[in-house]
Amino acid sequence: MEINKNRSLKDLNTFGVNATTKFYTEIHNLEDIHELLEWKEKTDLPTLLLGGGSNLLFVNDYQGLAAKICLSGKEIVEADADATYISVAAGENWHNFVRWTISQGYAGLENLSLIPGTVGAAPIQNIGAYGVELADHFYSLQAINLENGDVLEFNKEQCQFGYRESFFKAYGLDKLLISSVTFSLPKKPQWKINYAGVQEKLKGLEPNAKLISDAIIELRQSKLPDPKVIGNAGSFFKNPVLNIDQWEAIKANYPDFMGYPQSKTEIKTSAAWLIDSCGWKGYRKGDAGVSEKHALVLVNYGNTTGKQLWSVAEEIIDSVSQKYGIILEPEPRRLSEN
Ligand SMILES: Cc1cc2nc3c(=O)[nH]c(=O)nc-3n(C[C@H](O)[C@H](O)[C@H](O)COP(=O)(O)OP(=O)(O)OC[C@H]3O[C@@H](n4cnc5c(N)ncnc54)[C@H](O)[C@@H]3O)c2cc1C
């Protein structure tokens, strides 16, 4: 395991924020994991587990060791009457893995096409898009406890998946290194295509995984700024979940206020609508701002800092709170002090 000192993180986070990490390494195999455990025993410095950096905001420089997970490989481990089980290493690129499953004739993950990042980070916030989330086709994962080296297996129940939530967030980030994830891909897939935009793109066609994936790629490219062109981390805020009374009170004044029932008492609303209605879409202050394409996406127009981006986020939180009494919760992990 090679350790570099004072490495820039600019090319390691999709916001393209120019922070620095005091130490940097890459984890390619089991030996590197053992050396990481030894390093952790020897020093008091924190470790940051880094995937594709597409859900992180570096507000300050990082004072510990950033360890990029580069574990690679995938295999079909089992098949039964209902599903095929595929295990994939944490450092594999998520979207490439999704397209590979489709090319091999397996369905299930097509709605999650084009989400940036790695396979190992996907369970952390139970990634989701277009009516499907990782939990829908998750079978198990393997993680290494970085405090004692224990190798642990987690089944779906133990992962406690929720909306952008999992056991791993609650337990404490950077304590468990997810090394591989096993998916259960159904032999008889149920297409989820009633989402706005997808249905229109598939009109008159017999759906299959590739067609759905292609449609979703097209839709995402038309709606979301490409981080390679304008730095961003996708949705910056979670969609708030309100109780019905709170939702109805706002709806009475704003008839186009959207709501999607989550349970008998809870309604999920659109953070994008709330932000847009407060006039933030297309806002720019220096090089930090809000995408012109999507009110939920904070962007780095060039050389902004994590601090400036976070200051825009705070202004948005304040204005939505004042107008609607709803406190928006950021989705990306914010690294400010360590
Ligand atoms: C343009 C764009 C669109 C996006 N669209 C979506 C979307 O539709 N749906 C969605 O859910 N998300 C979306 N995201 C957010 C992001 O892509 C996902 O959260 C993704 O899973 C993050 O993967 P990553 O490898 O980049 O993780 P990173 O940003 O590197 O890390 C995220 C978190 O996971 C931890 N972590 C990373 N790897 C491991 C590991 N192996 N073991 C333990 N912990 C680890 C990190 O410490 C950190 O806390 C989008 C982001 C962008 C830029």
Model confidence pLDDT, tens digit, residues 48-73: 999 999 999 999 999 999 999 999 99
Structure tokens at 275: 């932000």
Q: What is the arithmetic mean of pLDDT over 176-185?
A: 98
Residue ID of nearest Cα to ligand 1 atom 17: 116
Residue ID of nearest Cα to ligand 1 atom 8: 129
Q: Are 328 and 320 in contact (CB under 8 A)?
A: yes
Q: Are 64 and 22 in contact (CB under 8 A)?
A: yes
Domain 225-335 classification at class level: alpha beta
Asked if pLDDT for residue 178 goes beyond 80, the answer is yes
Residues carrying an active site annotation:
164, 235, 331
| Sequence-ordered list of residues with C-beta below 8 angstroms from that of 192, at least 6 positions apart, any chain | 111, 130, 131, 132
Structure tokens at 120: 């190992």
Average predicted confidence (pLDDT) for the chain: 96
State the distance from the centre of ligand 1 to the C-alpha of 166, rounded, in angstroms.
13
Question: Domain boundaries in the chain?
Answer: 4-69, 74-220, 225-335
The CATH number of 4-69 is: 3.30.43.10
Structure tokens at 100: 């590979």
Asked if pLDDT for residue 196 goes beyond 80, the answer is no
Domain 74-220 classification at class level: alpha beta
Structure tokens at 280: 């933030």
Model confidence pLDDT, tens digit, residues 139-149? 999 999 999 99
Asked if pLDDT for residue 218 goes beyond 70, the answer is yes
Q: Are strands 333-335 and 62-69 parallel, antiparallel or unpaired?
A: unpaired
> Of 36, 54, 146, 232, which is best to mutate to test ligand 1, by the most ligand atoms within 8 angstroms of its C-beta?
54
Residues with a CB atom less than 6 Å from ligand 1: 14, 48-56, 69, 90, 115-118, 120-122, 124-125, 127-129, 173-174, 177-178, 224, 227, 232-234, 333
Model confidence pLDDT, tens digit, residues 292-315? 989 999 999 999 999 999 999 999
Q: Which residue has the tokens 């590979």?
A: 100
pTM: 0.96
State the distance from the centre of ligand 1 to the C-alpha of 122, rounded, in angstroms.
6
Tally of CB atoms within 10 A around 51? 24
Q: Are 171 and 178 in contact (CB under 8 A)?
A: no
